[in-house]
């Protein structure tokens, strides 16, 4: 059973870089067909996709954050990471890591991305 | 970006009620639509993918329908454990986007 666990500082100062790690257990980040994603949820609000490290080796980021975001894979540690630079109070949120699986629904010829496994989430507050 | 709009934003219902939540995309997303359930303090959990396919382990009282721009999630007989917030999400194109959520509360 694959499990994901986020870790990192719970408090980051404005203008600094937020760094989080998602440890993967019960499976490998190198497994074919899976991508690895970060999603966040500001307090009392909805979900925002940050980006993912696609199984092809490419990265895709939300344009609203693209200039500040880096998602990388560490196969030796079996984990993936998020770096978000120049943070402000607007970046305060619960940050989730998630596995993206390209499921092929019945009758379909191509895969369809779903967030099938999530970490429990980690709260990050941006404040001086 | 494809905007996802859910309605209602909240609803009150009783155990046993039939509940329907709608989700509208700002452009056609064919059937690239997923539904997630989120309970307070926990991560979202996938319920339905590709509009109408039930994720493994999800009770059959949940169902989804639609195509193009208009979609719906139906709970045929609301159970106590179904009180939660529900989100739709499109996988048609990046950036992947979610609806604003529908909170289902106890009447």
The mean pLDDT of B44-58, rounded to a whole number, is 96
- CA-closest candidate to residue B23, choices B64, B61, B81, B60: B64
- Across the strands, what pairs with A91? none
A21, A35 contact by CB (below 8 A)? no
Burial (CB count within 10 angstroms: exposed 0-12, middle 13-18, buried 19+), residue B103 = middle
Q: How far is A127 from chain B (nearest CA, A)?
A: 22
The mean pLDDT of A92-108, rounded to a whole number, is 92
Pairwise CB contact (< 8 Å): A63 & B95? yes
Q: Please tell me which residue of chain A has the smallest CA distance to B48.
A: A114
B56 contact partners, CB below 8 Å, separation of at least 6: none
Closest CB to A114 among B34, B87, B95: B34
The mean pLDDT of A26-48, rounded to a whole number, is 93
Cα dihedral A69, A70, A71, A77 sign: negative
Q: pLDDT class for A55, splitting at 50, 70, 90?
A: confident
pLDDT of residue A107: 86
Burial (CB count within 10 angstroms: exposed 0-12, middle 13-18, buried 19+), residue B49 = buried
Whether B45 shows a pLDDT value over 90: the answer reads yes
Mean residue pLDDT across chain A: 95
pLDDT of residue A108: 84
Cα–Cα dist A20/A82, whole Å: 5
B7, B88 contact by CB (below 8 A)? no
Pairwise CB contact (< 8 Å): A47 & B89? yes
Whether A112 shows a pLDDT value over 90: the answer reads no
Cα–Cα dist B59/B68, whole Å: 25
Bigger pLDDT: A103 vs A72: A72
Bigger pLDDT: A54 vs A85: A85
Q: pLDDT class for A104, splitting at 50, 70, 90?
A: confident
Pairwise CB contact (< 8 Å): A120 & B91? no
The mean pLDDT of A99-108, rounded to a whole number, is 88
The mean pLDDT of B54-61, rounded to a whole number, is 96
Sequence-ordered strand ranges (E) for A1-128: 3-7, 11-12, 18-25, 34-41, 48-53, 59-61, 69-74, 79-84, 93-103, 112-118, 122-126
Closest CB to A108 among B45, B50, B96: B50
Q: What is the pLDDT of residues B63-82, one digit of tens each?
A: 999 999 999 999 999 999 99
- CA-closest candidate to residue B90, choices B46, B47, B29, B44: B29
β-pairing, A93-103 vs A122-126, is antiparallel
Q: pLDDT class for A105, splitting at 50, 70, 90?
A: confident
Q: pLDDT class for B35, splitting at 50, 70, 90?
A: very high
Q: How far is B66 from chain A (nearest CA, A)?
A: 15
Pairwise CB contact (< 8 Å): A106 & B32? no
């Amino acid at each position: 059973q694959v499990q994901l666990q986020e870790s990192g500082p719970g408090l980051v100062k404005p203008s600094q870089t937020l760094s989080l790690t998602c440890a993967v257990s019960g499976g490998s980040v190198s497994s074919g067909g899976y991508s690895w994603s970060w999603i966040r949820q500001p307090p009392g609000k909805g979900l925002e996709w940050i980006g993912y490290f696609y199984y092809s080796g490419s990265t895709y980021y939300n344009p609203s954050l693209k200039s500040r975001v880096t998602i990388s894979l560490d196969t030796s540690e079996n984990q993936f990471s998020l770096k978000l630079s120049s943070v402000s109070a607007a970046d305060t949120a619960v940050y989730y890591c998630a596995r993206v699986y390209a499921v092929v629904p019945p009758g379909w010829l191509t895969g369809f991305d779903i967030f099938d496994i999530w970490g429990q989430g980690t709260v990050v507050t941006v404040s001086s | 970006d494809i905007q996802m709009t859910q309605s209602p934003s909240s609803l009150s219902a009783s155990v046993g009620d039939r509940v329907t939540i709608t989700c509208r995309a700002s452009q056609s997303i064919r059937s690239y639509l997923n539904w997630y359930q989120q309970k307070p303090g926990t991560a979202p959990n996938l319920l339905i993918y590709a509009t109408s396919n039930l994720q493994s382990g999800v009770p059959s009282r949940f169902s989804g329908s639609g195509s193009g721009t208009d979609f719906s999630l139906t709970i045929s007989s609301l159970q106590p454990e179904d009180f939660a917030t529900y989100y739709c999400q499109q996988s048609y194109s990046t950036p992947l986007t979610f609806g604003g959520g529908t909170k289902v509360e106890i009447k």
